[in-house]
Structure 1
Amino acid sequence: MAPPIAYSLIATDLDGTLLRGDDTLSDRTLDALARVAAAGAQHLVVTGRPAPRVRPLLDDLGSTGLAVCGQGAQLYDAGADRLLWSVTLDQELAETALGKIEAEVGEVYAAVDQDGVDGLTLIEPGYRMPHPTLPAVRVMRRDDLWGEPISKVLLRHPSLSDDELAATARSVVGSLATVTMSGPGTVELQPCGITKATGLALAAEHLGLGPRETIAFGDMPNDIPMFDWAARSVAMANAHPELKAIADEVTLSNEDDGIAVVLERLFTGSLVDSAQ
């Protein structure tokens, strides 16, 4: 008989965590996730990417279950290709927040992720995508960003660091939006009160699980709410110092199969046991 598993829900960020820098999954990581499935545990992607940018990766994983997308603003059902739940960012609140930020730091460059399973990523002049592999549509002016409901706004500043931009944004935005920093060149505004923990808690409830059964992996400050929610948290070696400071454990980097190292330890023998 297989021994009881320590965690039934494995929540992983994507960029800088599960994925390598070229947006691929290593064979070792795929094998480790197979161990998780063989043991009866579930893998849940919890990412800042919107649902349309996650769908191809879920296909690579062979996943037909749930995924938390858009920093927690979307709960996506991969098998049905539909959103079970989504929250949008009010356009007026977004524009007001942008105005307050620019009053402090000068001009910023903005992009938006549209809501929905077919939503586009729109970028205004001057905005540069932090992930060149992700598709985006350039618009002529900022007003063109607001044509459809959006899940979040992405910001870049020509000279401030991400930490500086995020700190200033938090100091002036207040309750207009939640400010997150999810990767190099990625400071974001999302609906107030929405975080990765919001989406993770909702997904776990759908699966009949809770914090005590969950281990979470991440690399950036936007993963802090998820780490606070889960029973155990693991930061990557390449993680932001803020996340490492609160993590229960620091593993190897995403390039060195850091998630696989931990899962192999937790689920040793799962493939053998399931075959008996």
Structure 2
Amino acid sequence: MRAPLKLAAIDLDGTLLSPDKTISAENLAALQQLREAGLEIVVATGRHITRIGSIMPFVPDARWVVTCQGAAAHSLQKGESIHSVHLTPEEANLILKTGEQLGFSCIIYAEDQVRTLGKGPFIDFYGAYAGGMPQASSPAELEGLRIHKLIWLGEEGRIDGLPELPEVKAIPLYQIRTHEWIYEFLPRQASKAVGVAAVADLLGIKAEEVVAFGDADNDIPLFQWAGHSFAMPHGMPTAREAAHEIAPVGPPESAFARAVATLHLVPCTLP
């Protein structure tokens, strides 16, 4: 028997958000169902905290957000960080140098802002994909910044082969592919599972009382940690395999709503 659910951890891109980056009426109604059933809503995204401002007004009951693939977690009510891990300067410099040598564009998720050292079509694509253009910066401006993660951008065929490159294998960090043309590097102690667990611990909620929703490989650690999990039917094959359930087949913009419907939640008295 499934433990009573107390917290819902919800991915944004590919899960709560439609392909056009909006939230469908069905998914908005599903968020309300979760709230009426008494679940704490936690957004768990790879995005930077500065890249979710246009989305969070549609999730007004979310008091917590996990960002940067779990390298950071925030209390929205208090406007403060409750969890934060960073790359060391040596790690960041190694990734930047190796990426430049291999010909990849690089995105820097510093604590304060999303930044880039260069220009190009992949940078423009990333700005449209991830909620805003990164801030152009010089190497001198990066000095002293605390960096949550670094991203390489490149052609799909080149990203395919990255895990087998000796230069990449030699980088002792958490590595994850999050899109056909996006490859990310984070501290080993970073994942969405770690970020959501930091929120759950503050609230006295156990892993078995958490339900997670996602669509990609970066959601797999969260799926493995949470007591219950749903992958979107249009998600990555490895994510679908890792989840406890797959949302019923249908339009991608309402997949999250169909997953919530299968929980058969019962409304409770709201606080």
TM-score (norm 2): 0.86
Q: Counterparts in 2 of 1:33-48, with a 5 A limit?
A: 33-48=31-46
- More moved, 193-202 vs 120-129: 120-129
Matched-pair contact (CA < 8 Å) for 2:43–2:66: yes
Question: Structure 1 pair 213/64, CA: closer, same or farther in 2 (3 Å)?
Answer: closer
* 8 A Cα contact 2:126 2:133, kept in partner: no
CA distance in 1, matches of 2:149, 2:251: 26
Amino acid at match of 1:122: T
Task: Extract structure 1 runs of 4+ deviating beyond 6 A.
Answer: none
Tell me the equivalent position of 1:243. Answer: 239
Count residues in correspondence. 264
Q: Aligned pair in 2 of structure 1 residues 140, 42: CA closer, same or farther (>3 Å)?
A: closer
Percent identical among aligned pairs is 26
> Which residue, 14, 18, 27 being the options, matches 1:16?
14
Q: Does the 8 Å CA contact 1:101/1:173 hold for their aligned counterparts? A: no
Is 1:135 the counterpart of 2:129? The answer is no
5+ long unaligned stretches in structure 1: none
CA-based RMSD of the aligned residues comes to 2.6
Task: Please list, as runs of the form range in 1=range in 2, the aligned pairs for 1:1-276 lying within 5 A after superposition.
Answer: 6-100=4-98, 106-116=102-112, 119-122=113-116, 124-126=118-120, 127-128=122-123, 129-132=125-128, 134-139=131-136, 145-146=142-143, 148-158=145-155, 160-168=157-165, 171-174=169-172, 177-251=173-247, 252=249, 255-270=252-267, 274=269
User: For structure 2, which runs of at least 5 residues remain unmatched after alignment?
Assistant: none
TM-fit CA distance, 1:80: 2.2
**Offset of residue 102 of structure 1:** 6.1
* Residue deviations 1:68-117 (CA, integer Å, cap 9, x gap): 111111111112222222122222212213445666xx22110111204x
Displacement of 1:38 after TM fit?
Answer: 1.0
Q: 1:79 to 1:167 in 2, by over 3 A?
A: farther
Contact conserved, 1:89 with 1:150, CA < 8 A, in 2?
A: yes
Matched residues in 1 for 2:269 and 2:126: separation? Answer: 41
Deviations 1:168-211 (A, max 9, x none): 4752212xx21122234221111222111111111111121121
> Which structure has greater helix proportion?
1
Separation in structure 2 between the aligned mates of residue 52 and residue 67 of structure 1, nearest angstrom? 12
Change (3 A) 1:187 1:39: same
| Aligned partners of 2:212 and 2:226 also within 8 Å | yes
Confirm or deny: 8 A CA contact 2:41 2:64 kept in the other structure: no
Whether contact under 8 Å (1:9, 1:213) holds in the other structure is yes
Q: Deviations over 1:20-60 (max 9, x none)?
A: 11211111111111111111111111111111112332222
SS at match of 1:18: coil
More off after superposition, 185-194 vs 163-172: 163-172
CA distance change for structure 1 residues 253 and 181 in 2, over 3 Å: closer, same or farther? Answer: farther
Equivalent residues of 1:124, 1:145 under 8 A apart: no
Q: 1:188 and 1:72 mapped to 2: Cα distance?
A: 13
